Amino acid sequence: MRIDIISIFPDYFAPLDLSLIGRARTSGLLDVHVHDLRSWTHDRHNTVDDTPYGGGPGMVMKPEPWGEALDSVIGDASARLILPTPSGRPFRQADAERLAGEGHLVFGCGRYEGIDSRVAQDAAARMPVEEISIGDYVLNGGESATLVMVEAITRLLPGVLGNKESAVQDSFASGGMENLVEGPVYTKPATWRGHEVPPILLSGNHGAVDRWRRDQALRKTARNRPDLVAAMPEEGLDRRDREV
């Protein structure tokens, strides 16, 4: 997968050299290019913003540098443009799974009050454009949201996670964990400060362990995420689920 990121703060993306994403990049599974939006400005002050038409507070990102940046980065016909913004559609695990199947993603990180809306309009004539929000709170710009989405997407690429099973059992993962968070996890020692590991996990009965884990996931979801329980389709629950 190729990922291009356009931002006025390219240094924000230094963490993409680390850990699993860093290793995916060195191994060639992932090709990330970070671009400074100001390299597509032509004035002495490298201006990227201006006052909003219609008045109001703050500044808006000018369309010209964005237009040139996207022209230069899009390249092939298969690129998809993601514009992180609190006014976008919510980013969910299903979106991470869907975007992990793409070949080329371009993230355009806005700052200030946002990017002149004609940039998305113009790009949409050439490529799919998605405005996406990572949650109901306001960040100073799209950079940290892009880091979040890049991590959620790239960990799903084949070969990035060590254990192939681990992404399937994640909270929210399609294939059984939709609308569910993961339950509690334990490791050695079996007794720590007087707290015991639930004995069923030491039983060696894999069927019973799977059932117990699902029960725990349902209970934790009910406790922490009543909104997810309300959204659960009845047919997604088996008879044992309904007893929990």
Residue ranges at the known binding site? 110, 134-139
CA distance 42 to 180: 50
CA distance 201 to 184: 11
Instruction: Tell me whether residue 36 or residue 113 sits nearer to ligand 6GU (CB atom).
Output: 113
Instruction: Tell me whether residue 139 or residue 197 sits nearer to ligand 6GU (CB atom).
Output: 139
Told to judge if 15 belongs to the known catalytic residues of this protein, a careful annotator would answer no
The stretch among 33-41, 58-66, 116-124, 134-142 that binds ligand 6GU (CB under 6 A) is 134-142
Helix ranges (DSSP H) in the chain? 19-26, 63-74, 93-99, 118-124, 143-154, 206-224, 226-231, 239-243
- Member of 142, 152, 167, 180 binding ligand 6GU (CB under 6 A): 142
- Residues 60 to 99: which contact ligand 6GU by CB under 6 A? 84-86
User: Does residue 7 belong to the site contacting ligand 6GU (CB under 6 A)?
Assistant: no
User: Does residue 139 belong to the site contacting ligand 6GU (CB under 6 A)?
Assistant: yes
Binding annotation for S-adenosyl-L-methionine: 110, 134-139
Told to judge if 76 belongs to the known catalytic residues of this protein, a careful annotator would answer no
Long-range residue pairs from 235-242, CB within 8 A, at least 24 positions apart, any chain: 236/178, 236/179, 240/211, 240/214, 240/215, 241/214
Of 105, 111, 40, 115, whose CA–CA distance to 75 is shortest? 105
Per DSSP, the three-state class of 104 is strand
- Member of 34, 115, 123, 134 binding ligand 6GU (CB under 6 A): 134
Instruction: Tell me whether residue 65 or residue 142 sits nearer to ligand 6GU (CB atom).
Output: 142
Told to judge if 155 belongs to the known catalytic residues of this protein, a careful annotator would answer yes
* Per-residue mark of binding to ligand 6GU, 26-45 (x: CB under 6 A): --------------------
Q: Tally the residues of the chain.
A: 244
**E-strand spans in 76-208?**
80-90, 104-108, 129-133, 191-192, 195-196
CA distance 79 to 197: 48
Q: Which active-site residues does the annotation give?
A: 86, 113, 155, 170
Question: What does the binding site for ligand 6GU look like in residue numbers (CB under 6 A)?
Answer: 84-86, 133-135, 137-139, 141-142, 145
